[in-house]
Amino acid sequence: MKKLSILLSFMICLLYTEAQTIIQPKIMIIPYTKENEDIRTILEYDYNKRIVLTKIKEAFDERGITTIDFTAKLKSIESGNVLNMDNKHDIKSQTIDMSGADIYVEAEIICSSYGYGDKPESQVKLNLTAYDAATGASLANKIGVSGRFYTNDIGKLGMRAVESCVDDFLRVMQQKFSEIPELGRSLMLQIGFDASSQYTMETEVGNQGLLLQDEIELYISDHSYNNNYHLQGVSPSKMIFDDIKLPLCDEEGKNYTVSSYGLSLLKFFRSLGLSISRSIKGNTLYITIK
């Protein structure tokens, strides 16, 4: 009887623990880049930024966060000749897409020195922004500052800057990510027409002879997570959904992305006899009807 009581207590404890489990995302930390700036140049030639990136990763690791090494992943993909090396944007976006990360954290690192000599007064400032890797939606943003010290040890200053913001940053990021399975991922959708298109939103299409805008909204309603979407506005030449909820995963358990949704829309428009082009920027999907 005593053994049975112990076993039941253990099972209750185990079930309680499982119920309290929080989904922990895999995170990749990357350096911030300006438009047309090569991310490889920063990693290869800016020693201070490499040090601070390492300190950010160490801080995450110490808090039990699963991190993916961006530099190692980039080198691995480059060696496999997967990337289009002539496209600076593709290097970043394709590495994120192929990393398996749930979230990527973009770290803007500003190292400043004041004065001269062997030990000038120095400071490190961080701007950390977390993005959902599937949609590009921002999850969290925090600024960390080391304060000014008479030292040239960027590693120590970087760690001070990280420690000043990392706990609040991870708390907000985890909270936002944990809401996704319940609420869905957010996507913006803008649908317009090519200049030479013979169609408008008021054109009758499909077997039921409905207006194109009505066919689109019916499809969005049926293919948004829990039928959760918001139509910002519609005119004869444009239709904008400022929030469409996507599921975390598809039916096969794979990450459901903006590209996945774009493919489903391509098939939908083809079923109506319409040809489209697609483009993606962040968590916004642009559809142009030809």
Per-residue three-class SS string for the chain? CHHHHHHHHHHHHHHHHHHCCCCCCEEEEEECCCCCCCHHHHHHHCHHHHHHHHHHHHHHHHCCCEEECHHHHHHHHHHCCCCCCCCHHHHHHHHHHHHCCCEEEEEEEEEEEECCCCCCEEEEEEEEEEEECCCCCEEEEEEEECCCEECCCHHHHHHHHHHCCHHHHHHHHHHHHHHHHHHCEEEEEEEEECCCCCCCCCCEECCCCEEHHHHHHHHHHHCCHHHCEEEEEEECCEEEEEEEEECCECCCCCECCHHHHHHHHHHHHHHCCCCEEEEEECCEEEEEEC
118 and 230 belong to one structural domain: no
Task: Tell me if 167 is assigned to some domain.
Answer: yes
pLDDT of residue 22: 52
Residue 240 confidence class, pLDDT cut points 50, 70, 90:
very high
Task: Identify the pLDDT of residue 46.
Answer: 85
| Residue 11 reports pLDDT greater than 70 | no
Whether 189 and 256 share a structural domain:
yes
**162 and 189 inside one domain:** no
Residues 176 and 35 in one domain: yes
In a domain? residue 13: no
What local confidence, expressed as pLDDT, does residue 5 receive?
Answer: 38
Q: Are residues 57 and 168 in the same domain?
A: yes
Q: Check whether residue 136 and residue 171 sit in a common domain.
A: yes
Looking at the domain assignment, is residue 53 inside a domain? Answer: yes
46 within domain boundaries = yes
For residue 246, the enclosing domain spans 184-289
Residue 203 shares a structural domain with residue 110: no
Is residue 9 in a domain?
Answer: no
Q: Which residue has the higher pLDDT, 225 or 45?
A: 225
- Average model confidence (pLDDT) across the chain: 83
In this predicted structure, the answer to whether residue 16 has a pLDDT above a threshold of 60 is: no
- Residue 17 falls inside a structural domain: no
Q: What percent of the chain has pLDDT over 70?
A: 86
Q: What is the pLDDT of residue 181?
A: 82
Question: Is residue 3 very low, low, confident or very high in pLDDT (cuts 50, 70, 90)?
Answer: very low
pLDDT at 91: 77
Per-residue confidence (pLDDT) for residue 98, from 0 to 100: 80
- What global pTM score does this model have? 0.71
Same domain, 221 and 258: yes
CATH number of the domain that residue 36 is part of: 3.40.50.10610
Q: What pLDDT, in 10s, does the model give residues 106-160?
A: 999 999 888 766 667 899 999 999 998 888 888 999 999 999 998 888 889 999 9
The mean pLDDT of 36-47, rounded to a whole number, is: 79
Q: Are residue 57 and residue 166 in the same domain, yes or no?
A: yes
Least confident of 105-109, 174-178, 182-186, 243-247: 182-186
Residue 6 counted as domain residue? no
Q: Is residue 114 part of a domain?
A: yes
Q: What average pLDDT score do residues 165-183 get? A: 90
> What's the total number of domains in the chain?
2
- pLDDT tens-digit map of 61-116: 999 888 998 888 887 776 655 555 444 446 787 788 788 888 999 999 999 888 76
Over residues 245-260, the pLDDT tens digits come to 988 787 777 778 888 8
Indicate the pLDDT class of residue 162, thresholds 50, 70 and 90: very high
